[in-house]
Amino acid sequence: QVRLMESGGASVQAGGSLRISCAASGRTYSDYSPAWFRQAPGKEREGVVGINRDGSATYADSVKGRFTASLDNAKNTLYLQMDSLKPEDTGTYYCAAGLPHLSRDYKVPDPREDRWQLGYRGQGTQVTVSS
């Protein structure tokens, strides 16, 4: 199985930038469906971005144009560069490895889908954006 560990969460001012990381171990991350999710206090978990099998990324509308996900295969690490941060971006960010045989490309990750429910997830890293 693959193990995931997030890092880089912090408190930042609105308009600022932050990069968080997800280091995978045990298996090759690209053999799964890499993705980022987040959960704000009192809200359900939501998909932020999914990496498609062709290497492209599909973003939620709320972060499109501001966030950039990238997978470094040499380091087996997934990154999320977050720019122009807003207070509504506050939450715990989780990386995930979806089951590859259930992959669905070009779709914003939905945490209710089997590939995420049955897949792997890190412990999360906290991002707080103050106004």
Residues 6+ positions from 102 with CB-CB distance below 8 Å: 33, 113, 114, 115, 118
pLDDT digits (tens, 9 = 90+) for 95-112: 999 998 888 889 999 999
Could you tell me the two tokens for 24?
């995978």
**Contact of 102 with 115, CB cutoff 8 Å:** yes
Q: What pLDDT sits at residue 101?
A: 82
Q: What pLDDT sits at residue 104?
A: 83
Could you tell me the two tokens for 32?
């799964």
Q: Residue 121: pLDDT above 90?
A: yes
Q: What pLDDT sits at residue 117?
A: 92
Q: DSSP secondary structure string, 34-84? A: EEEEEE-TTS--EEEEEE-TTS-EEE-TTTTTTEEEEEETTTTEEEEEE-S
pLDDT digits (tens, 9 = 90+) for 38-95: 999 999 999 999 999 999 999 999 999 999 999 999 999 999 999 999 999 999 999 9
Q: How confident is the model at residue 129 (pLDDT cuts 50, 70, 90)?
A: very high
Quote the CA–CA distance of 1 and 9 in Å, as a whole number. Answer: 25
Q: Output DSSP code: residue 86.
A: -
